[in-house]
Amino acid sequence: MSITAFRFIHTADIHLDSPLKSLALRNSELADLVSGATRQAFCDIIDLCISERVDALVIAGDLYDGDQTSMKTARFLAGELGRLAKAGIRTFIIRGNHDALSRISRELVLPDQVKLFGGRAEHVLIERGPGEKNVAIHGLSFAHPTAPDSLLPKYAQAIPDTINIGIMHTSLGGAPGHDSYAPCSSAELQSTGYDYWALGHIHKRAIISGSSTIVMPGMPQGRDINEDGPKSATLVSIADDGTVNLEEKQTALAEFARVTIDAHGMTEWSELAHSLSQALRQARSNSTAPELVARIGFSGETSLAWRMRRDADLLMTEAEERASQIGATWIEKLEISCTPPTVNRASATDPLHEIRALIDTEILNSGAYEAALAQLADTLQVQLPTDLRDLFGADENETQKRRRELARQGSEDVLARLQSTPGTGSEPT
Considering the chain, tell me which residue range(s) the CATH 3.60.21.10 domain(s) occupy: 5-250
Q: Over the stretch 323-341, which tens digit does the pLDDT of each residue have?
A: 999 999 999 999 999 988 8
Please name the amino acid found at residue 245: N
Range name among 97-106, 161-170, 218-227, 274-283 with the lowest pLDDT average:
97-106
How far apart (Å, rounded) are the C-alpha atoms in residues 175 and 198?
17
Strands 114-116 and 122-126: unpaired
Any idea what the Cα angle at residue 239 is, between residues 235 and 241, rounded to 5°? 150
Confidence of residue 102 (pLDDT cuts 50, 70, 90): low
Mean pLDDT of the chain: 87
Q: Examine the pLDDT at 394 and tell me if it is beyond 50.
A: yes
Q: CB of 174 within 8 A of CB of 201?
A: no
As beta bridge partners, residue 93 has 59, 116
Mode of pairing for the β-strands spanning 329-336 and 254-262: unpaired
pLDDT band at 176 (very low <50, low <70, confident <90, very high): low
pLDDT at residue 175 greater than cutoff 70 = no
Contact 187, 112 (CB under 8 A): no
Triad 158, 84, 60: Cα angle to 5°: 40
Average pLDDT for 140-145: 81
Question: Is the distance from CB of 236 to CB of 244 less than 8 angstroms?
Answer: yes
pLDDT of residue 20 exceeding 90, the answer is no
Under 8 Å between Cβ of 233 and 8: no
Q: Which of 231, 220, 233 is nearest to 257 (CA)?
A: 231
Question: What are the start-end ranges of the H helices in 173-216?
Answer: 186-190
pLDDT at res. 257: 98
Predicted TM-score of the model (pTM)? 0.81
pLDDT in tens, 343-376: 544 455 667 777 777 777 778 788 887 877 777 8
d(CA 31, CA 121): 38
Where in the sequence of the chain do the CATH 3.30.370 domains occur? 253-339
| DSSP string across 288-337 | -SSEEEEEEEEESB-TTHHHHHHTHHHHHHHHHHHHHHHSSEEEEEEEE-
CA–CA distances in Å: residue 364 to residues 344, 350, 352, 413, 421: 21, 21, 16, 14, 26
User: Is residue 414 over pLDDT 70?
Assistant: yes
CA–CA gap between residue 145 and residue 107 (Å, rounded): 17
| CA gap 366, 360 in Å, rounded | 10
In this structure, how many other beta carbons lie within 10 angstroms of the beta carbon of residue 255? 25
Task: Give 104's pLDDT tier (boundaries 50, 70, 90).
Answer: low
pLDDT of residue 244: 97
Residue-level pLDDT at 121 = 95
Residue by residue, DSSP assigns 332-391 as: EEEEE--B--HHHHT-SS-HHHHHHHHIIIIITT-HHHHHHHHHHHHHHHHHS-GGGGGG
92, 56 Cβ separation under 8 angstroms: yes
Instruction: For residue 419, count other CB atoms closer than 10 A to its CB.
Output: 19
pLDDT score at 278: 98
Q: Residue 71: is its pLDDT beyond 50?
A: yes
- For residue 2, the model assigns a pLDDT of 45
- Name the least confident of 133-142, 155-164, 259-268, 409-418: 409-418
Q: Looking at domain 5-250, which of 3.40.1800.10, 3.60.21.10, 1.10.357.10, 3.50.50.60 is its CATH number?
A: 3.60.21.10
User: Can you tell me the mean pLDDT for 228-245?
Assistant: 96
CB under 8 Å to 424, separation ≥6 — which residues? none
What's the pLDDT at 308? 95
Question: Which of the four pLDDT bands, split at 50, 70 and 90, describes residue 420?
Answer: low
- pLDDT attached to residue 249: 98
| Residue 226: burial class (beta carbons within 10 Å; 0-12, 13-18, 19+) | exposed
* pLDDT, greater one: 54 or 390: 54
Higher-pLDDT residue of 246 and 364 is 246
Residue 101 has pLDDT above 70, yes or no: no
Contact 151, 158 (CB under 8 A): no
> 253-339 has which fold?
Barnase; Chain D (3.30.370)
Which residue in 75, 85, 89, 66 sits closest to 18, CA to CA?
A: 66
Distance CA 144, CA 106 (A): 12
Task: Determine the pLDDT at residue 375.
Answer: 78
Residue 350: predicted pLDDT: 67
pLDDT at 324: 96
Question: Which pLDDT value is given to residue 47?
Answer: 98
